[in-house]
Amino acid sequence: MDIVVVQFLTGLASASSLFLVASGLSIIFGVSRIVNFAHGSFYMLGAYLAWTLVERLPYGPLGFWGGIVGAAAIVALLGLVMEFVLLRRIYRAPELFQLLATFGVVLIVQDATLWLWGPQDLLGPRAPGLRGAVTILGQRFPQYDLLLIFIGPVVLALLWLLFTRTRWGTLVRAATQDREMVGALGVDQKLLFTTVFMLGSFLAGLGGALQLPRESVNLQMDLTIITDAFVVVVVGGMGSLGGAFLAALLIGVLHAFGIVVFPKITLVLIFLVMAVVLVLRPYGLMGRKPGPVAATVGLVTPLIGPTPRALVWLGLVAGALLVLAPLFVGDYTLTILSEMAILALFAASLHFMMGPGGMASFGHAAYFGLGAYAAALLMRQLGLGMPLGLIAAPLAGAAFGLLFGWFCVRLSGVYLAMLTLAFAQICWSVAFQWVELTGGDNGLLNILPSGWAQTRQGFYWLALVLSIAGILLLRWLIRTPFGHALRAARDNPLRAEAVGMAVGRLQWAGFAVAASFAGFAGGLYAYFKGSVFPTFISIPRSVDALLMVLLGGVDTLAGPIVGAVVYTGLHEQLMSLTDYWRAILGLIIVVLVVAFPQGLAGQARDWWLARNGGRA
Amino acid sequence: MLTVQGLDAHYGLAHILAGIELTVQRGEVVVLLGRNGAGKSTTLKSIIGLVRPSAGQITFEGQGIAGRSPSTIARLGLGYVPEERRIFTELTVRENLEVGRQKPRQGVPHWTPEKLYALFPNLAEMKDRPGGRMSGGEQQMLTIARTLMGNPRLILLDEPSEGLSPLIVEQMADAIAALKRDGMTVLLSEQSLHFAARVADRAYIIEKGRIRHEAGMTALLADADVRQRYLAV
Ligand SMILES: Nc1ncnc2c1ncn2[C@@H]1O[C@H](COP(=O)(O)OP(=O)(O)OP(=O)(O)O)[C@@H](O)[C@H]1O
Ligand SMILES: [Mg+2]
């Protein structure tokens, strides 16, 4: 009993920081409609900056608390810079491009943090005056955690006052509903957005800084917290501070208990809770059905027309050249070409979901990774080889696609996308934590292809043929009645329902199809690399896929292929050039989004229209 | 006070407005009459900056405003009341008014919530009610009151009588008449000739994105031919 109480209190203490971060994310999203991936980076920066400030300032209450608040204030300024330099230029861009841009910032901040503070974990001092513990029911409980328990509700109350009792708060609430109208009433939206962004960033920074006495400061904090914050926001209901608070308590307490009772499956537990909440209340505990503005991902694109004859010829020539490639290129190039082929299939599967399916996924790597693990586990556990592995991989992808998709298709737009991300993170943590089965961080090694495919050429041909076959199959699917129905459901769900289509079922099926092709690509990738690691499922890999699709454009089937080729090549080049390739990649993403807010393909289409007499 | 010259507007590739010309003098109530889809709302939206004009000049109090942001235009003293009302449903009546508040402006009446409650007595009874729980008529009053909180020199009213019961329509006409007596300048859009006749001094008739006819209200009422051609349904 006593341990239960203490764990409960520990949960409440963690909930406070989580609430700060999630409320910041939610406030920013409310007004700007931008899902700010970099919010987790601000949390991490808050912790690092607090570490530095507290180390530098004289130890004492003033130095400590000054350091904490100072760190949050610096983060708020960084938020201001980011809004001013980046977001302001892309408010009109489609949501996914905005998201990519903020992910670019995540990459930049990661490398900047690595460069400034180094790779080792940092430990901060205890809070002066709160270093001890109190005894609760015979159990020791840190004084600092007791303070944290109070900080959450206090911040909630302050925010509530701010939003209901000040003109600024009233404007923010109004803008959350209809920012255009707020502008037409003469309110300077730029100022409003900037201040909202500063407040949100401040909360993230404070959340991170407050963790200083509790846990080590490290480079993984950003993506860990952003996933938790997404879960909190989805469970609590987007835009609801009260909901975020409740959900943060729920998740915080679950974490605390999970660590004691089932350390390995804490995240699975959280997944179950999230699933139950979303089944009962699709828009979260205290959320409301979003208006149409919030629900669209801004990617509804023209139908894919028949392929122009020239492109068919080009494709055939390219295909022939690719088949003959081993005759005139070396091993290194073949390896890269194999990777490109597999990733093109992976990107095409995401394209199927986003383009015809109209569902954006931030967590598509889940199915890729699950396919890879399925193939690898068959080999390690049962000694079954590649042919069966390549059958199991898409099945695994499809199975989990059915499972996760069942929840996801109940939502739409960014809500759906956030949920896909949360599922992917859960898979990742299972792969990471279930060491007995997956080998954890060490991965599963020696996943060899069948003998004839163990040469570079052999495997290259295999990857090429299977990837092209997969892509052609997807292309065929888009043109079947199923594909047409899927697009009809995407373009006008209400009308599709009205003519008797089961929109939810269709999307569910589309989700599973996309997942199974991703799983297949993952299986191939496992044999290609000869090993499988949790990174196959990580957020960066999901973002890779998004980048390939968006880089190439959602409009055409060639898009994901071009995207995969360009992106893989770029990635390879950067990695060989510098250790800080993440930052460079992030910078490239940011610059691309700012320069071409409609995407490369959108830009090309506009140019084409302008040149062909359409109105520019 | 407001001059529009050669205004063109597009939605995507669709050409919606072609060479709109109109002027509004200080103290006048001018109506833009036209059938569904004629381009009335688009004209008003282009003036306030919600639709970016693709050609033409818009001058307000001597300043060119075409292509500026809605908030900049609104802060020059141009009020806009949208057709869809766009009340902030989560905010109370009082808070809705607060969002519209701007600094007092020289030479125009300074509106306060109290004065607005006097103009629209219905609102006075529901100061703390969320906008989402109001009737259509009440919302229409609130959206006008909200815009008046910005102390505008001129207001653009998009179909104020649309979807309202006859009784409320009369109240609305009275309110506009009261505003006019106080010297307010108004450019409104309407389909209802009856309502326009109650409030307007002068009318422009718009059809398929072009101004087809301009006349004083009395002259228009006398001209059965024009009414038949452009306004009969
Ligand atoms: N957002 C939009 N996108 C594309 N076309 C639009 C959009 N809004 C209006 N239109 C088209 O522009 C034309 C003019 O529309 P507008 O709303 O200005 O007409 P209106 O005169 O206000 O009509 P109503 O009396 O029905 O309000 C119509 O043909 C309409 O279909
Ligand atoms: Mg209209």
Task: Note whether A315 and A205 are same-domain residues.
Answer: no
Given a cut of 90, is residue A339 above it in pLDDT? yes
Confidence of residue A295 (pLDDT cuts 50, 70, 90): very low
Using a CB–CB cutoff of 8 Å, tell me whether B13 touches chain A: yes
A290 belongs to a structural domain? no
H/E stretch holding B58 reads strand B55-60
Of A137-146, A351-360, A449-458, the poorest mean pLDDT is in A449-458
Distance CA A389, CA A178 (A): 51
* CA-closest residue to ligand 1 atom 4: B11
Residue of B nearest to A168 (CA): B99
Across chain B, mean pLDDT equals 93
Residue of B nearest to A187 (CA): B71
Confidence of residue B2 (pLDDT cuts 50, 70, 90): very high
Given a cut of 60, is residue A474 above it in pLDDT? yes
Q: For residue A287, list chain B residues with Cβ-Cβ distance below 8 A.
A: none
Architecture of domain B2-230: 3-Layer(aba) Sandwich (3.40)
Distance CA A36, CA B33 (A): 45
What is the average per-residue pLDDT within B162-188? 92
Domain ranges of chain B: 2-230
The total domain count for chain A is: 2
Give the pLDDT of residue A498: 83
Domain-terminating residue out of A173, A195, A219: A219
Q: What are phi and psi of B210, to 5 degrees?
A: -130, 145
The share of chain A scoring above pLDDT 70, in percent, equals 93
Give the pLDDT of residue A460: 92
Distance CA B176, CA B155 (A): 11
A457 belongs to a structural domain? yes
Positive or negative torsion for Cα A186, A187, A189, A194: positive
Of A258-272, A339-353, B139-153, the poorest mean pLDDT is in A258-272
**Residue B85 Cα to ligand 2 middle (Å):** 11
Confidence of residue B139 (pLDDT cuts 50, 70, 90): very high
Give the pLDDT of residue B233: 56
Interface contact A186-B98, CB threshold 8 A: no
Domain-terminating residue out of A219, A251, A276: A219
- Chain segment A413-425, per-residue pLDDT in tens: 777 888 898 899 8
A355 belongs to a structural domain? yes
A292 belongs to a structural domain? no
Q: Which residue has the higher pLDDT, A147 or A610?
A: A147
Task: Note whether A211 and A329 are same-domain residues.
Answer: no
In DSSP terms, which residues pair with B210 in a beta bridge?
A: B207
Across chain A, mean pLDDT equals 87
Give the pLDDT of residue A297: 39
**Residue B45 Cα to ligand 2 middle (Å):** 10
Of A33-42, A184-193, A454-463, the poorest mean pLDDT is in A454-463
Highest mean pLDDT among A225-234, A273-282, A297-306, A362-371: A362-371
Of A167, A176, A184, the CB nearest to B48: A184
Give the pLDDT of residue A294: 35
Of A365-374, A417-426, A552-561, B42-51, the poorest mean pLDDT is in A552-561
The structure tokens 């949501």 sit at A95
- Chain segment A586-595, per-residue pLDDT in tens: 998 899 888 8
Task: Note whether A439 and A319 are same-domain residues.
Answer: yes
Question: Can you give the CATH number for the domain in which A320 is found?
Answer: 1.10.3470
Task: Note whether A355 and A214 are same-domain residues.
Answer: no
Given a cut of 90, is residue A135 above it in pLDDT? no
> pTM for the complete prediction?
0.87
Given a cut of 60, is residue A614 above it in pLDDT? no
Give the pLDDT of residue A550: 82
Give the pLDDT of residue A300: 43
Q: For ligand 1, what atom is nearest to the CA of residue B35?
A: 25
Interface contact A173-B90, CB threshold 8 A: yes
Give the pLDDT of residue A598: 66
A102 belongs to a structural domain? yes
Pair of tokens at residue B222: 């006398």
A11-32 b/e with 16+ CB inside 10 Å = b?
bbbbbbbbbbbbbbbbbbbbbb
Cβ neighbour number for residue A419 with a 10 Å cutoff:
26
A12 belongs to a structural domain? no
- What is the count of residue pairs from A and B with beta carbons less than 8 Å apart? 63
A285 belongs to a structural domain? no
Confidence of residue A293 (pLDDT cuts 50, 70, 90): very low
ipTM over 0.90: yes
Give the pLDDT of residue A292: 46
Interface contact A184-B82, CB threshold 8 A: yes
Domain-terminating residue out of A171, A190, A219: A219
The minimum CA-CA distance between A180 and chain B, rounded to whole Å, is 8
Confidence of residue A608 (pLDDT cuts 50, 70, 90): low
- Chain segment B186-217, per-residue pLDDT in tens: 999 999 888 999 999 999 999 999 999 999 99
Domain hosting residue A458, numbered range? 311-612
Of A254-258, B1-5, B99-103, B152-156, the poorest mean pLDDT is in A254-258
Distance CA A394, CA A523 (A): 8
Pair of tokens at residue A92: 């009109």
A513 belongs to a structural domain? yes
Distance CA A344, CA A323 (A): 16
